[in-house]
Amino acid sequence: MLQGVDLTLEPGSSLALMGESGSGKSTLLHLTAGLDKVDSGSIRSGEHRLESMNEAQLANWRRTEVGLVFQQFNLIGSLRVEDNLAFQARLAGRHEPRWQAHLVQRLGLADLLRRYPEQLSGGQQQRVALGRALASRPQLLLADEPTGSLDEGTSDEVLKLLLELLDDSPTTLLMVTHSPRVAARLADKVVLHRGRLAGADGR
């Protein structure tokens, strides 16, 4: 259970959220995404107050303003890479072919566009998942252990690409990670301990 968490993210910032298992990291991420509702308190994103929005409003807000990336890639198996990339942006009514082409080039996916997810490696699938999340130019990108299932070299490559792409956009990043090495690459870091925010040293 989260207790008295007070956290502000400035537009365009990047924050790593760390903590032991059961500390509330994923709970905080789900609350921030509007996937769960707070028992008390308030969550705001720009002009939106999530606790006062109904399910339809939250779904629309996630579709248009939020990008989600998880440890499980959650690609649509029946769609080729190029259609997976465009899926979120089309739902949001923000499909921009030039921006998608830029993502394809930066993520090294040009030779993979006609493939299906099952034909890709883990690192390739996660690059597609990142591209899909960024294709709609979301205000907020929420990432839950996005490199947790990748080996160290692939993890470093994917994270480098993500941070470079964020430099090209005003998107704010909140990333849950258990890895101090990954957290060190982001601008800021906070630690959750037993549902409360602790110092960067975890105390």
CATH code for position 164 = 3.40.50.300
In this structure, which amino acid lies at residue 47? E
Polymer length in residues for the chain = 203
What whole-number percentage of the chain has pLDDT above 90? Answer: 48
Residue 41 pLDDT more than 90? no
Task: Tell me if 86 is assigned to some domain.
Answer: yes
Task: Tell me if 129 is assigned to some domain.
Answer: yes
Compare 147 and 67 and report the one with higher pLDDT.
67
> Per-residue pLDDT tens for 69-122?
988 889 999 999 999 999 999 999 999 999 999 999 999 999 999 999 999 999
Closest to 129 (Cα-Cα) out of 178, 65, 84: 84
Instruction: Print the domain residue range for 45.
Output: 14-198
Q: Is 190 helix (H, G, I), strand (E, B) or coil?
A: strand
Task: Tell me if 3 is assigned to some domain.
Answer: no
Residue 110 is predicted with a pLDDT of 96
> Per-residue pLDDT tens for 117-132?
999 999 899 899 999 9
| pTM exceeds 0.85 for this model | yes
The Cα–Cα gap between 86 and 6 comes to: 35
Q: Is 128 helix (H, G, I), strand (E, B) or coil?
A: helix
Residue 188 pLDDT more than 90? no
| pLDDT band, very low/low/confident/very high, at 4 (cuts 50, 70, 90) | confident
Task: Tell me if 76 is assigned to some domain.
Answer: yes
Total of domains in the chain: 1
Can you tell me the mean pLDDT for 165-189?
A: 86
